Amino acid sequence: MVQIKNQEILTLYEAQQMVDRWIKDQGVRYFNELTNLGILMEEVGELSRLMVRQYGEQSFKESDKGHSLSDEMADVLWVLLCLANQTGVNLTQALQNNIRKKTKRDGKRHLENKKLKP
């Protein structure tokens, strides 16, 4: 684990290991993969709700109080880490592969997109 300016920085691998330890020590067991997929969709919905209120045109409701973007994003990440652990996906390698794929596929596409130019 790296430390930058008094903050711990986790690698994706370390985060996957921490979640796995927590599940085994305190969570009894993982929910099955389909249950976790449903939970992931729920958590993304909660994040979406907060984003459209904070950055979109919807106004906040009383029930939105006490919710933060950082916590909602962490909930999404938590369940994604669970799914990765359950399915044997190394997220570090997956992300590296995904960046290579996007670079090869989209390396110039966005730079040449007139819609993105100011």
pLDDT at 65: 87
Residue 57's domain comprises 2-116
d(CA 54, CA 48): 10
Domains held by the chain: number:
1
pLDDT beyond 90 at 81: yes
pLDDT beyond 80 at 78: yes
> Does the model's pTM come out above 0.85?
yes
pLDDT at 84: 98
CATH code for the domain of 103: 1.10.287.1080
Give the tens place of pLDDT for each residue, 8-67.
889 999 999 999 999 999 999 999 999 999 999 999 999 999 999 999 999 999 988 899
**Average pLDDT value for residue range 80-101:** 97
pLDDT at 118: 80
Radius of gyration of the chain (CA): 18
Whether residue 84 contacts residue 95, with contact meaning beta carbons closer than 8 Å, is answered with no
